[in-house]
Amino acid sequence: MLVSEFEDILIEQKKFFESIKDFTWRRVDFESYFSNDFITTITGVRRSGKSYLLLQFKNKIENKTTKRGAYVNFEDDRFSSFSVN
């Protein structure tokens, strides 16, 4: 996979996630995650809202700090030929 193809997929995914306005916001104490340096793992059954929770978390980080985040869906079929080479 060429770098330009990878970039095109990331740009398309970013536009898709930025276009989502109508989803259920979860009540989460994000402050507890900002106040430590631990890694947090989000697990759950399929289609339980993990991706949208990550999107909400990303938005909170960007609104609270100057840090920028990105969400990449590696289950996208276009990444099937992706390799580290």
pLDDT in tens, 16-63: 888 877 777 788 887 777 777 787 788 889 888 888 888 888 777 777
Q: What CA–CA distance (Å, rounded) separates 79 from 13?
A: 12
Q: What CA–CA distance (Å, rounded) separates 42 from 64?
A: 21
State the greatest distance between any 2 C-alpha atoms of the chain, in Å, as a whole number: 41
pLDDT of residue 8: 92
Task: Kindly state the average pLDDT of the residues 70-74.
Answer: 80
SS3 assignment for the chain: CCHHHHHHHHHHHHHHHHHCCCCCCCCCCHHHHHCCCCCCCCCCCCCCCHHHHHHHHHHHHHHHCCCCCCCCCCCCHHHCCCCCC
Count CB-CB contacts under 10 A for residue 57: 19
Enter the pTM of the model.
Answer: 0.62
